[in-house]
Structure 1
Amino acid sequence: MKQVLLILAILLLNFSCTSSADSGSYQSPEQTYQETKLSLEDQERQSPLNFLKSDGTYRENLVGKFVLEGNVTNSASAITYKDVTLQISFYSSTQTLLGTEEQTIYEYFPPGQSVSFKFKTFGFQDTKSIGWQVIKATPAN
């Protein structure tokens, strides 16, 4: 019984020493907030595609051009992006990829805001559907 109590006392002492060593590295909430904010800005700066999304519609006009209209939304909280490039994919009736085209929107995309776009393109012969996604962007600040 004494051996069990001795082992428990040693373990308790060991855990209390470990936790007191960690408490010596206390940081004020303001420092932690600043570090977190910088970390978030770094993440947003390094991975713009994670924070830029695009949606919209398309139609074929009277002269056979496809008209794409939509928005690019920046969900980042700190970084403004610019010069967003969309990759437009053209598909057949069997969903076979016929080809792609890139279009760049030379605008600023502030945090938490959407920017609208409108493109006209001939696409590819036998195109039945179109999709697009953001493939490139540059941090502006």
Structure 2
Amino acid sequence: MQAPYNEITIQSLLRKLRIFNREIGEYELFAITENFDYVVKLSNGKILITIEELQEDEKDALTTESLVVIAKRFVPSGQTMTAPPQAAVETEVSQGPAVKTTIFWTILAAGLVIMLILGGLGYVDVVNKQAKPIARKTVETYKEKVMTIGEIERAKPLQFLLLRSDYKKNFWGTKIRLQCSVKNTATVVSYKDVKLQVTHYSDTKAILGTREYILFDNFPSQSEKELELKIENLKHTDSISCKILSAKVD
């Protein structure tokens, strides 16, 4: 028998999914399909989570790619979610031999109802026994997933730092005032000491030389800063370009 999952488990997984899809609303209730998958009703829509994904999440085995796939299943209110068709219930009672068939199916349906009631009692008992340890474990799982995202941002700062630059030469053309705007798009990691490479070009676009400079400042996550550098110009420089080479984790 597959292990059941309760509201605490689902809400924990929803918090992780919002990292990848901020449109996902607040939890309201859930229903279990005939395949034991979970259809979760949200304040602004619904989302389908399979039993296998909940099992993987319980084992801390859901990857970032898997979380993205689940988050894309969010269906806003007003749109329909495909559900498996349910068989129609026979309501007509025919006369003659068909009456025996109807009685047979009625008895069978009653037996199934009794089995479902007994199974439901067992489900409630299991949930009561497992709720507390599952709650503790899901909180730990969420922290570990956030750490995984942080590790990616620490390892690849260039993927999360965006640079816009502009420059002006002084009257004599010997110095350049370089204006930089650095945006940190990371979700949890802050950076500092951003290293820039400035390349000087002639009017024929030949490279005259490159120089490196460090922006000694802190760049918090989800923020943008504007800085200014005054640098020496190279002779015969017609234009320059600027890019980020590296950054340290704050």
TM-score after normalising by structure 1: 0.75
Structure 1 residues 63-78: aligned runs within 5 Å: 63-64=172-173, 65-78=175-188
Structure 1 residues 62-101: aligned runs within 5 Å: 62-64=171-173, 65-101=175-211
1:46 pairs with 2:155:
yes
Structure with greater contact order relative to length (CA < 8 Å, sep ≥ 6)? 1
1:128 pairs with 2:238:
yes
Q: Aligned-pair distance for 1:21?
A: 8.7
Q: Aligned-pair distance for 1:30?
A: 4.7
What is the aligned partner in structure 2 of residue 11 from structure 1? Answer: none
Greater CA drift, 35-44 or 103-112? 35-44
Residues 123 and 34 (structure 1), Cα distance of their counterparts in 2 relative to 1, 3 Å cut: same
TM-score after normalising by structure 2: 0.44
Q: Output the CA distance in 2 between the equivalents of 1:23 and 1:101.
A: 52
Where in structure 2 are there 5+ consecutive unaligned residues? 1-50, 59-133
Structure 1 or 2: larger helix share?
A: 2
1:114 pairs with 2:224:
yes
Deviations 1:112-135 (A, max 9, x none): 111211112222111111111111
Q: Which has the larger radius of gyration?
A: 2
Where in structure 1 are there 5+ consecutive unaligned residues? 1-19
Q: Output the CA distance in 1 between the equivalents of 2:57 and 2:161.
A: 36
Matched residue SS, 2:153: helix
Matched residue SS, 1:82: strand
Q: Aligned-pair distance for 1:26?
A: 5.2
What is the aligned partner in structure 1 of residue 167 from structure 2? Answer: 58
What is the aligned partner in structure 2 of residue 7 from structure 1? Answer: none
Q: 8 Å contact 1:53–1:133 — kept in the other structure?
A: no
Matched residue SS, 2:149: helix
